Amino acid sequence: MEDRIAWAVRNADGVVAIGLALAVGLLDLLDDDLDNNIVSGATLLVLAALVYGSLTERRRRLADIRRATEGTGRAIEDLSMVRSLSGPEIALAHEKARRDTSRWVFKGGTGTYLRAVTLPECVREAQRQRRSLSMKIDIVNPADDRVCEAYARFRRTFGYRNETDPFTEWTTERTRKEAYATVVAAAWHRQRLDTLEIDIHLSSVAPTLRFDLSDTCLIITQDDPRRVSLYVERGRPLYDYYVTELHQSREQAVKLDLREATPLGDEPTVDEVRRLLDRLGLPVPASFTDRDVGDIIDRALHAEDPYRR
Asked if pLDDT for residue 40 goes beyond 70, the answer is no
Q: Note whether 155 and 58 are same-domain residues.
A: no
Q: Note whether 208 and 230 are same-domain residues.
A: yes
Spell out where 108-149 has E strands.
133-140
Q: Note whether 112 and 72 are same-domain residues.
A: no
| C-alpha separations of 231 from 104, 234, 238 in Å | 15, 10, 10
Which one of 80, 110, 130 terminates a domain? 80
- State the first-to-last Cα distance of the chain, in angstroms, to the nearest integer: 75
Q: What is the pTM of this model?
A: 0.73
Q: Note whether 197 and 101 are same-domain residues.
A: yes
Q: Note whether 24 and 154 are same-domain residues.
A: no
Mean of the per-residue pLDDT values for the chain? 83
In DSSP terms, 281 is beta-bridged to none
- The arithmetic mean of pLDDT across residues 153-163, rounded, is 76
Asked if pLDDT for residue 44 goes beyond 80, the answer is no
- Report pLDDT digits (tens) over 229-285: 999 999 999 999 999 999 999 999 999 999 989 999 999 999 999 999 999 999 999
Give Cβ neighbours of residue 250 (< 8 Å, ≥ 6 apart): 107, 136, 138, 199, 201
DSSP assigned state of 115: I
**273 and 142 Cβ atoms separated by less than 8 Å:** no
Distance CA 283, CA 142 (A): 10
In a domain, 56, yes or no: yes
The CATH code of the domain that includes 192 is 3.30.870.10
- Our count of domains for the chain comes to 2
Domain housing 13: 2-80
Which one of 80, 97, 112 terminates a domain? 80
Asked if pLDDT for residue 166 goes beyond 50, the answer is no
Q: Note whether 76 and 146 are same-domain residues.
A: no
Which one of 28, 61, 80 terminates a domain? 80
In a domain, 306, yes or no: no
Asked if pLDDT for residue 12 goes beyond 80, the answer is no
DSSP notation for 210-227? EEEE-SSEEEEE-S-TTS
Asked if pLDDT for residue 45 goes beyond 90, the answer is no
**Predicted pLDDT at 308:** 72
**Predicted pLDDT at 167:** 45
The residue that leads in pLDDT, 157 or 66, is: 157
pLDDT band at residue 169 using 50, 70 and 90 as cut-offs: confident
Q: Note whether 188 and 56 are same-domain residues.
A: no
